Structure 1
Amino acid sequence: MSTAVSSAGNGTGKRPSNSAILFTALALFSMFFGAGNLIFPPMLAVQAGDNFWPAILGFLTTGALLPVLAVVAIALSGSNVRDLAQRAGTIFGVVFPVLAYLSIGAFYALPRTGAVSFEVAVTPLFGWDSTASAAIFNIVFFGIALALSWNPTRITDTLGKFLTPVLVLLLVIMIGMALFTMTNQHYQPSETYASNPYPAGVLEGYLTMDSIAALAFSIVVISSLRNKGFAEGKPLVRGTILAGVGASILLALIYIGLGLIGRAMPDASQYDSGAPLLADSALQLMGRPGQTVFALIVVLACLTTAIGLITSTAEYFSEQFAGSYRTWAIIFAVASALMATQGLDFVISIAGPVVGFLYPPAIALIFVTLIEPLFRRRTRLRWGFFLPIWVAVAWSLISTFISLGWGADALSPIVDWSPMQANDLGWLLPTAVAFIIGVIIDFAKPHAPLEIGTQRTVEGETLEEAEAHNA
């Protein structure tokens, strides 16, 4: 059944449909759901013990809701992360998107999909652990991912109609068998989850760092919906929000199911990672075929994420720099295969600090964008964007230097006073204060507000015309 949105004026000749939103939601889910997302919830369940429910709700807040909010923020601001980042100044608008795409692309998340697939799925199943076998696997893995990413206009069909249903089916089989055949175990919460399980779960979801990937995946979601007939402005924003909500709900259900496996697994406290816990649970539930099912889940989860990462990074770099989409896709696939062959520890050592540095300004960017509509009838935020984002950048840079041991004695007093700095959340308070100051400045001299989902003011003027008019 078609949506009420007319296809007139969308430039594609296609009529938007609810099925397009459904398949886009499934594709978005699969892009988010990598091997890391697979193994976090069961270990959280083990560590939280009898405090499982408040802990998993905290995890869902930052692990399922926050990434989808990032996609919505991009839809509200424009067509890609650069449109959003430029609101914080030219330097941030150029540097941040490039670092974000590289960190979730060839420098970190993309090679990690191959490395995790090999180490978590292939090595335990077949016993292969040599560099040569890793190289062969990653050539095949990234070759398949590249082939399935070759036509970016079909990416949501490839993921949403084919790969994601298979992935979800395998997950449902494993979760369903565990729930019907295993009995919940009672564990004492670890020290972290004993007194404040919800904040501890929030921090665990925060550490998945999916919000940076969400900023990148948005380009795939928006271009796909646009190609399927959703007109610019409110129809495209509405379609993006519905797809994001659908992906968020499915993520939440799968996370809860995986957490319940952790609660039901006998002697689960002996495991120090979710990967062997899930592998052993699959073995107990289905025997040797269970190991194969688990391996397929890991490889499919990583493959769908790799496809999304190749597509989003190649689309962005082809739009912003010289070179075609397919040229950039080949470059990222080859670079990722080379890095993944060196192993997971190598990948993390290269890009871990960069990803940690990017996360605070990324979250600040998301929330300022989502909050701005509350003020849109009065003003368009300028300092309300600039100040909090640059405070987050500065704070995150100092924290990154400290974590690397660069001038830690001199820099630590600058940031240690802030609440939750020990949990890497010290940037929240100064960033919030900077936002309030910026909003006060913006209200003192209002700017023409933006219409949602466009780069034009509500009066129909371009930004340049509105700024000239205000001056």
Structure 2
Amino acid sequence: MKTTKASIRQSIIIASLIFGMLFGAGNLIFPVHLGQLAGSHWLIASSGFLISGVLIPLMALLAISITKSNGIYDLALPNGRTYALIFLILVHATLGPLFATPRTATVPYEIGIAPYLSKAANSWGLLIYSAIFFSLVYLFSNHEGKIATLIGKILNPLFLGLLFLIFLLAFSNPLGAGSTANITAAYTNHAFSNGFLQGYNTMDGLAALAFGITIITAIKELGIKKLRQISLATAKSGFWGISGVAIIYLALIWLGATSLHQFKPALNGGITLAQISHYYLGTAGDAILATLATVTCMTSAMGLVIAFSQDFHRRFPKISYRTFLRFNCGLSFLFANLGLNQIIAWSTPILMFLYPLAITLIILGLLSPLFKKDPLVYRITTGLTLIPAFFDMLNALPANLHESQLLQTLLEFAQRFFPFFSLGFGWLSFGIVGLILGLASYVLKERKKTALAND
């Protein structure tokens, strides 16, 4: 049955779908870890984290709405078909079998099961756990039309109930005062910028682009067919879904900061979450956390594999949706068994390269009505952003690779000539200059057209 616009009930279902897809593995561990790093500067760090982890994903959904795109490829298409396809592959490889999707299995395993097994047994434990995890992800994702019902009505309420219990106990009996927690050196003077960069690790800016096609498919399944109403439903539901993520982020960051009064800074937020749940609930808390992490990471994994399979099936229609689904789940299972630490170490450089390109693409999408999607504006902005993004990627490579003389020479060059490079924002000035030059070129071209028409 066709409807002209989304009802309140339908908006809630889609908002819940967006929330469930975005909130996954990284969304649990990175905010808590940020709180421990920022200490009493947790609120300043939170503001940076919320911009990259909440505002940019919301802007991504709005960009998809404004441009009436079905996802990453359509949004990047003004840069050319080749660029759009390469960007699509890079983003989905990052969100898919290389980094984000394997992480959805390793995070709940590390915080819920690994502490109870010996080091020797952990490799077998991860193998068995990840095999079961991705088998269930494949089973649930096999029927893409049921994704809204499954995530929105069943898994999300279960996850929220478990998370609320931990928050309730922590707020009623705090571990300490966040305002007096110790601050690490990196967050003493640059809490905002470091918080912003930590938001990259959630990968939600990229995920929001990738989930565009899944969200639009789910909206159409509800009977909303007109392009304008699909865009409005995406924007409205996106705001409410991502607002829920923001509230949980603030609570988790505060929880991390207050935990410093009871626990030493941990290597990752998963360890801290396990310590907090055990502090309040003992062994029962461990079981709750393991369940919570598995449920939320599974919803995120489902969103990732479905978006991957839908987008690639759309680009390569001769290969079925289910073939791409099997490929993604199988490869994610293999990469998950490399372990969480290796996944995080190698994902950071890729994110430092992709995020600037994604942010500029999102901004161009939002501003596109001003210049009618003129490809020249896109290409100038993207071309200039590519240069510092490449150097940001080099700077984020693992420490053992920094010993190369060539790499040191390149980084010294960037440090000297790229504004804000040391803060991780070398792309910012280049992107702004590119946008200004692109818009100026568009205005001059339009004036020339008008002048010729009047002659």
Tell me the TM-score normalized by structure 2: 0.89
Tell me which residue corresponds to 2:384.
391
Q: Using the alignment, how far apart are the partners of 1:336 and 1:197 within structure 2?
A: 34
Q: Using the alignment, how far apart are the partners of 1:135 and 1:206 within structure 2?
A: 28
Instruction: Compute the displacement of 1:210 (Å).
Output: 2.0
Q: Using the alignment, how far apart are the partners of 1:188 and 1:400 within structure 2?
A: 30
Secondary structure class of the residue paired with 1:106: helix
Tell me which residue corresponds to 1:465.
none
Instruction: Compute the displacement of 1:126 (Å).
Output: 5.4
Matched, 1:90 2:84: no
**Larger displacement relative to structure 2 (29-38 or 161-170):** 29-38
Q: Using the alignment, how far apart are the partners of 2:231 and 2:64 within structure 1?
A: 9
Tell me which residue corresponds to 1:118.
109
Tell me which residue corresponds to 1:450.
none
Secondary structure class of the residue paired with 1:136: helix
Residues 40-439 of structure 1 mapped to structure 2, 5 A cutoff: 40-77=30-67, 78-125=69-116, 129-182=121-174, 184-185=176-177, 186-265=180-259, 266-321=261-316, 322-348=318-344, 352-373=348-369, 375=370, 379-401=372-394, 403=397, 405=402, 407-416=406-415, 417-439=417-439
Contact preservation (8 Å) 1:42, 1:259: yes
Q: Using the alignment, how far apart are the partners of 1:365 and 1:63 within structure 2?
A: 16
Instruction: Compute the displacement of 1:24 (Å).
Output: 1.6
**Larger displacement relative to structure 2 (178-187 or 304-313):** 178-187
The aligned length equals 435
Deviations along 1:5-33, one digit per CA (max 9) or x if unpaired, are: x726xxxxxx7422222122112112211
Secondary structure class of the residue paired with 1:419: coil
Residues 434-453 of structure 1 mapped to structure 2, 5 A cutoff: 434-446=434-446
Instruction: Compute the displacement of 1:346 (Å).
Output: 4.0
Instruction: Compute the displacement of 1:413 (Å).
Output: 4.9
Instruction: Compute the displacement of 1:52 (Å).
Output: 2.4
CA RMSD of aligned residues (A): 2.3
Q: Using the alignment, how far apart are the partners of 1:88 and 1:38 within structure 2?
A: 35
Q: Using the alignment, how far apart are the partners of 1:446 and 1:278 within structure 2?
A: 56
Q: 1:342 to 1:44 in 2, by over 3 A?
A: closer
Contact preservation (8 Å) 2:110, 2:270: no
Q: Using the alignment, how far apart are the partners of 1:125 and 1:161 within structure 2?
A: 32
Deviations along 1:411-448, one digit per CA (max 9) or x if unpaired, are: 3354222222123210110111011000000011239x
Contact preservation (8 Å) 2:137, 2:302: yes
Q: Using the alignment, how far apart are the partners of 1:125 and 1:249 within structure 2?
A: 35
Contact preservation (8 Å) 1:382, 1:438: no
Instruction: Compute the displacement of 1:358 (Å).
Output: 1.6
Contact preservation (8 Å) 1:203, 1:423: no
Tell me which residue corresponds to 2:24.
34
Contact preservation (8 Å) 1:179, 1:264: no
Contact preservation (8 Å) 1:7, 1:231: yes
Q: Using the alignment, how far apart are the partners of 1:338 and 1:74 within structure 2?
A: 32
Deviations along 1:19-52, one digit per CA (max 9) or x if unpaired, are: 2221221121122112221122223223323222
Instruction: Compute the displacement of 1:258 (Å).
Output: 1.3
Secondary structure class of the residue paired with 1:287: helix
For 1:424, give the aligned amino acid: G
Q: 1:282 to 1:345 in 2, by over 3 A?
A: closer
Instruction: Compute the displacement of 1:319 (Å).
Output: 0.9
Secondary structure class of the residue paired with 2:275: helix
Instruction: Compute the displacement of 1:88 (Å).
Output: 1.1
Secondary structure class of the residue paired with 2:296: helix
Q: Using the alignment, how far apart are the partners of 1:268 and 1:419 within structure 2?
A: 38
Contact preservation (8 Å) 1:46, 1:268: no
Contact preservation (8 Å) 2:107, 2:270: no
Deviations along 1:102-122, one digit per CA (max 9) or x if unpaired, are: 111112111121122222222
Contact preservation (8 Å) 1:391, 1:431: yes
**Larger displacement relative to structure 2 (249-258 or 337-346):** 337-346
Deviations along 1:128-177, one digit per CA (max 9) or x if unpaired, are: 84333222211110010111111111112111111111111111110111
Which runs of no fewer than 5 residues in structure 2 stay unpaired?
448-452
Q: 1:292 to 1:215 in 2, by over 3 A?
A: same
For 1:52, give the aligned amino acid: W
Q: Using the alignment, how far apart are the partners of 1:393 and 1:412 within structure 2?
A: 15
Q: Using the alignment, how far apart are the partners of 1:112 and 1:267 within structure 2?
A: 28
Q: Using the alignment, how far apart are the partners of 1:45 and 1:350 within structure 2?
A: 23
Q: Using the alignment, how far apart are the partners of 2:374 and 2:31 within structure 1?
A: 38
For 1:296, give the aligned amino acid: T
For 1:236, give the aligned amino acid: I
Secondary structure class of the residue paired with 2:426: coil
Contact preservation (8 Å) 1:30, 1:301: yes
Deviating above 6 A after TM superposition, structure 1's stretches of 4 or more consecutive aligned residues are none
Q: Using the alignment, how far apart are the partners of 1:138 and 1:271 within structure 2?
A: 24
Deviations along 1:258-279, one digit per CA (max 9) or x if unpaired, are: 1222233333444343222211
Higher RCO (CA 8 Å, separation ≥ 6 residues): 2
Contact preservation (8 Å) 1:29, 1:250: yes
For 1:360, give the aligned amino acid: P
For 1:76, give the aligned amino acid: I
Identity %: 27
Contact preservation (8 Å) 1:146, 1:333: yes
Q: Using the alignment, how far apart are the partners of 1:196 and 1:85 within structure 2?
A: 32
Deviations along 1:228-268, one digit per CA (max 9) or x if unpaired, are: 12233221111001111112110111111112222333334
Instruction: Compute the displacement of 1:395 (Å).
Output: 2.5
Tell me the TM-score normalized by structure 1: 0.86
Instruction: Compute the displacement of 1:197 (Å).
Output: 3.2
For 1:432, give the aligned amino acid: I
